[in-house]
């Protein structure tokens, strides 16, 4: 595996013109990222090497303290990429990603799916402006043929699909199902911040999704999800049943998702599942 910090070093590592199978991350790699890398290997070939990026993107954090305390562990990340047979680990400096200064995309230029749903867009103002800016720039630097994203950030996945469409980029976007801990909590780099007590509170999130998925009426489903999270002591931000693609109100005949966000202390938990009918069989 080659480590590249610049566009030139990346070209040197994988060959200029290679259309990588790209897994963009912010590092602190866990089993969820490993599933993305394994999926990348299923698609990769000699001309399409697997590239993983690690860049903690300052422009997508709406709280400076969240950016500061975001877990970083480059040594472990490099070992994980090596173990998983990644061709190149791209770890650029902010100056490489943002040569003209770090800022997100102007709100007015964002696609509707990043501005209208009143979910993550409202809960984290500026977040999708930063995600849009960094993904567009990483795609410019890496020139992938395929890029892999986790379904845990379902709203981000829809924003990235809209970005590729809007920017006319020739990149296929592939989503990978959320990897869960035995009790159902979605894998996330931020889980390392949870105390043992908060970790058990977090178990209410997948339970809330399941309760909602068992309820065929959207409003009742949302109430059930909110109730389950609140009674576990979580501070609920939203629980919403939405069209899976537009993230607006669901309509019959189109697929839908239930999406939730809540806080356990200072740590924000987000999750989502197909609605209705989703089940998770807890193990152990
Ligand atoms: O999902 C993430 O880890 C980040 O939002 C991404 C896509 C790498 C952009 O910084």
Model confidence over 88-137: pLDDT tens digits? 999 999 999 999 999 999 999 999 999 999 999 999 999 999 999 999 99
- Within 6 Å (CB) of ligand 1, which residues are found? 24-26, 57, 60, 131, 134-135, 153, 156
Got the DSSP string for 22-74? EEEE-S---HHHHHHHHHHHHH-BTTB-EEEEE---GGG-SSHHHHHHS---H
CA distance 269 to 181: 14
Is 33 a residue of the active site?
yes
Residue with CA nearest ligand 1 atom 2: 25
pTM score: 0.97
What is the dihedral sign for C-alpha 1, 43, 34, 137? positive
Give me ligand 1 centre to Cα 88, in Å: 18
Helix (H) or strand (E) holding 220: helix 218-231
Tokens of 276: 């209705």
Place of tokens 């189109």: 254
Backbone phi and psi for residue 204, each to the nearest 5 degrees, phi listed first: -70, -20
* Burial classification of residue 101, based on how many CB atoms lie within 10 Å of its CB (0-12 exposed, 13-18 middle, 19 or more buried): exposed
Query: At 186, is the pLDDT very low, low, confident or very high (cuts 50, 70, 90)?
Result: very high
User: CB–CB of 49/88 below 8 Å?
Assistant: yes
pLDDT surpassing 90 at residue 184: yes
How many CA atoms does the CB half-sphere of 26 hold within 13 Å? 19
At 270, the pLDDT band (50, 70, 90 cuts) reads very high
Cβ contact 173:149 at 8 Å:
yes
- pLDDT (average), residues 241-247: 98
Each residue's pLDDT tens digit, 74-88: 999 999 999 999 999
Question: What is the distance in A from the centroid of ligand 1 to the CA of 251?
Answer: 29
Ligand 1 pocket: which of 33, 34, 151, 153 to mutate (most atoms within 8 A of CB) = 153
Task: Specify the pLDDT at position 282.
Answer: 80
Going by the DSSP 8-state scheme, the letter that residue 235 receives in this structure is E
Residue of 33, 48, 127, 193 with catalytic role: 33
Query: Whole-angstrom distance between the N-terminal and C-terminal Cα of the chain?
Result: 35
Give the Å distance between the CA of 141 and the centre of ligand 1: 15
Whether 55 shows a pLDDT value over 80: the answer reads yes
Provide the pLDDT for residue 104. 95
């Amino acid at each position: 595996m080659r480590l590249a910090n610049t566009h030139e070093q990346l070209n040197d590592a994988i060959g200029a013109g290679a259309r990588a199978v790209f897994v963009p991350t912010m590092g602190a790699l866990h089993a969820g990222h490993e599933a993305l890398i394994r999926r990348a290997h299923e698609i990769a070939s000699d001309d399409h090497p697997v590239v993983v990026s690690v860049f903690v993107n300052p422009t997508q954090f709406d709280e400076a303290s969240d950016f500061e305390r975001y877990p970083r562990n480059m040594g472990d990340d490099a070992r994980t990429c090596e173990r998983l047979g990644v061709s190149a680990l791209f770890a650029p400096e902010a100056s490489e990603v943002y040569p003209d200064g770090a800022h997100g995309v102007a709100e007015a230029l964002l696609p509707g799916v990043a501005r209208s749903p009143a979910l993550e867009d409202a809960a984290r103002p500026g977040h999708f402006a930063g995600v849009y800016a960094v993904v567009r720039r990483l795609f410019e630097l890496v020139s992938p043929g395929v890029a892999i994203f986790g379904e845990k950030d379902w709203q981000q996945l829809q924003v990235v699909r809209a970005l590729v469409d809007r920017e006319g980029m020739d990149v296929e976007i592939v989503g990978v199902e959320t990897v869960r801990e035995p009790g159902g909590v979605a894998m996330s780099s931020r889980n390392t911040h949870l105390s043992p007590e908060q970790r058990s509170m977090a178990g209410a999130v997948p339970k809330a999704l399941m309760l909602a998925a068992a309820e065929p009426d959207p409003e009742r489903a949302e109430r059930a999800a909110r109730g389950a999270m609140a009674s576990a002591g979580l501070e609920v931000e939203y629980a919403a049943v939405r069209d899976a693609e537009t993230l607006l109100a669901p309509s019959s005949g189109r697929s839908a998702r239930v999406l939730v966000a809540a806080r356990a202390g200072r740590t924000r938990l987000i999750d989502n599942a197909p609605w209705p009918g989703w089940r998770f069989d807890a193990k152990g």
